[in-house]
Amino acid sequence: MNMTLTEWAAVAEILGVITVVVSLLLVVRSVSQNTAAMRISNDNFVYERQDAIIATLVTDASVAELHVKHQNKEQLSDIEHVRMWNQLFRDMLMWELAFSRHSEGHFSAAHWRDWDSVYSLQFLSEFPRSWWAEARPLVNVDFANHVDAIYAAAAD
């Protein structure tokens, strides 16, 4: 079987196309696996951050006492006020992180609904409207609009 140079070129071209298609399929599979791993990693990150916040309340009595004073609407010293403002802001950043993960498609609708309902309840009970007015410019606009809608719904 003697093939001409043109015939060999045609065979090589077909093999090249097959190689490219196989390579693209492997890339698609790899991207799919990486996307799934990234979603799991994002979930873990949010849960780990939330766990660290809760651990602070459990292991540091002064933080727990500060939260109790705040919830009881007791007068806070200037230092306590700064500490509480930052505690509240840290909590809200966790909510914003969950919001951004959901907006980016890393949380399912059910997963986001759980996070959002917990933070909405906490926010409405612990975060005074005056505090939100100070903190609002420091967060993502879409998230700020989401929180505004929660305040508006609670006012109805």
Confidence band of 146 (pLDDT split at 50, 70, 90): very high
> DSSP character for 137?
G
Average pLDDT over the chain, rounded to whole?
Answer: 85
- Burial class from Cβ neighbours inside 10 Å (0-12, 13-18, 19+) for residue 99 reads buried
**DSSP H helical segments within 60-77, as ranges?**
61-71
Token digits of residue 101: 């993960």
Q: Is residue 141 scored above 90 in pLDDT?
A: yes
Token digits of residue 21: 């298609």
More confident residue, 60 or 35: 60
Query: What is the average pLDDT across 92-96?
Result: 88
Residue 70 is predicted with a pLDDT of 85
Residue 79 is predicted with a pLDDT of 93
